[in-house]
Amino acid sequence: MKKVFSHLFCLQLEEDVNEVHFALKSESCIEDDCFSEASLKLDKLLKFKHPQIGQNIINATKKIIRLS
């Protein structure tokens, strides 16, 4: 994947469970601290009926790590 994409990321929601790998080819990559900020904006835009859903999204974004 590194040959095709400039920026690799990984998300593992639960320990010892499947990992999700995703990549960006963009020259202007997302900074590591922007995922949490983006999730807060998404939470406000979607206006979840159950606040716990929005909180779960925010918590998940904190687990995204850069592989490259």
pLDDT, one tens digit per residue, over 32-52 is: 667 777 777 877 777 777 888
Q: How confident is the model at residue 29 (pLDDT cuts 50, 70, 90)?
A: low
For position 44, what pLDDT does the model report?
Answer: 78
Contact indicator for 62, 1 with CB cutoff of 8 Å: no
Instruction: Return the structure tokens found at 49.
Output: 């009926």
- The pTM of this model reads 0.65
For position 68, what pLDDT does the model report?
Answer: 65
**What value, to the nearest 5°, has the Cα angle with vertex 50 and ends 46 and 53?**
70
